[in-house]
Amino acid sequence: DLLSGNSSYRVLEKDNCYFLLQGTGASGGMNLLVKRSGNFVAGNGTTMISNQWYYVTGTFDGNMASIYLDGMYQSSTNVGGAIDSSTGILRIGSDGPAPGAYFNGWLDEVRISSVPRSSNWIWACYMNQGSNSIFNNYSVMAFGLPYLNNAGGTSNVTLSSANLNGTLISTGAAPTEVW
């Protein structure tokens, strides 16, 4: 389980500028740590159970660093401006050469975006992935075929089109435009 403690493991790190950390200090769980002449941490403070799937999201909007767990807002911290930047590499699952700082778990669909995502966007992504049968309902759409009475014949017949001079009796419940 992901309890609070004094050790942390990197899920993601951008060259000592921002991190998504597994278990850090008293808050435990997952934490978003960003640096701006010091550390700023938004943590979820939730013990995360082993062998269970979680959807963890960290955002930064230019001032606030926030963390979400399973689509729900957990906490944020006011950074007060742009975070430190670096041209260094982005690491997923490790802290480079630091021994023992590897993420202890599985990762799926890691995303990094250049724009901050809204809480609604984060919730929708979680619902789409975590509860697909609730959020999205896929089924076969049954439509009948449109039925046209073409008693008036045709005109303007070309290789790619023709005017049918009749009456549309039924669209067959299909989403059909008629003009």
Q: How does pLDDT run along the chain (179 residues), one tens digit per residue? A: 555 555 567 788 888 888 888 765 555 678 888 899 888 888 877 777 777 888 889 999 999 999 999 899 999 999 999 888 888 888 888 776 666 667 777 888 888 888 889 999 999 888 877 665 555 555 555 556 566 666 777 777 776 677 777 766 666 555 555 45
Using the 8-state DSSP alphabet, how is residue 125 labeled?
H
Q: Compute φ and ψ for 148, nearest 5 degrees.
A: -125, 130
Q: Give the model's pLDDT for residue 7.
A: 58
For residues 55 and 107, the answer to whether their CB atoms sit within 8 Å is: no
Q: Give the model's pLDDT for residue 121.
A: 92
